A = this chain, B = another copy of it.
Amino acid sequence: MESGRLEAFSDGVFAVAITLLALNLAVPGPGHGPLGEQLVHHWPVFAAYVVSFLTIGIIWVNHHALFRNFARIDRPLLFFNLLLLFFIVSIPFATATIADYLSRSGPDAALASAIYQGVFLGMSLSFGALLWWSIRREHLRTPLTGTSARWAFIRFAGGNVVYAAAIGVAFLSPLASLIVSGLVAVYYVFEHTPAQAQGPAGKSEAPSGPEPYDR
């Protein structure tokens, strides 16, 4: 399968990025007060870690579903994928930055949150570009019909709109913006629209299967 190496490289980047997130978790250690207090003061680090882990995990699941349906890979897809990976690779940095500033107030916390949401927006837009190009150039094994293509777009547009809104929310309340992106991730865990079952994640061999990852 020709897309094999592209997926292997992407999986490597997803796997390293999701694991590097945990490098941030380290507490200051002995001599900096009781461990319990250190952990409590460290809550923004853990909160940002959970949201970022879930977000990378979800986008990997979506990436997996999209590429399973690819009939061919062309050069623009390689570069749209590279753009997506650019934002994935930036997530540990954005996570560390928001974790550093989340418990503070003022413009620094807002800026750190806006960067975090901006990286998510970039990731989401790149994924949309992958999807748009694959539909436009008919790279999909199970072509999306008008309705399901529209559904797929509405779903991705929805994610983009929420991330863009979260950049605005960041300037009102950094914590609220983190919660918003956490909810986006949780939503995609449980969301299971017909468009997805028949759309990019659907398989031509089992177009009516209730679960898109069934073999």
Give the B-binding residues of A (Cβ under 8 A). Answer: 2-3, 5-9, 11-23, 25-27, 29-30, 34-36, 39, 53-54, 57, 60-61, 64, 67-68, 71-75, 77-79, 82, 85-86, 89-90, 92-93, 96-97, 100-101, 104, 107-108, 111-112, 189, 192, 211-215
Contact = CB atoms under 8 A, between A and B. Distances in A.
Given A2-B215, A8-B8, A17 B19 contact: yes
Contacts of A214: 72-74
What's the dominant secondary structure at chain A's contact region?
Answer: helix
B189 A107 contact: no
A9 B64 CA distance: 10
A43 to B, nearest CB: 14
Contacts of A15: 9, 11-13, 15-16
A215 B140 CA distance: 12
Given A16-B16, A213-B75, A57 B82 contact: yes
A64 B9 CA distance: 10
B6 A12 contact: no
A61 to B, nearest CB: 6
Q: Top 5 A-B pairs ranked by shortest CB distance?
A: A12-B15, A25-B93, A16-B19, A35-B108, A72-B215
A207 to B, nearest CB: 16
A73 B206 CA distance: 14
A35 B34 CA distance: 29
B93 A9 contact: no
A53 B182 CA distance: 28
A90 B25 contact: yes
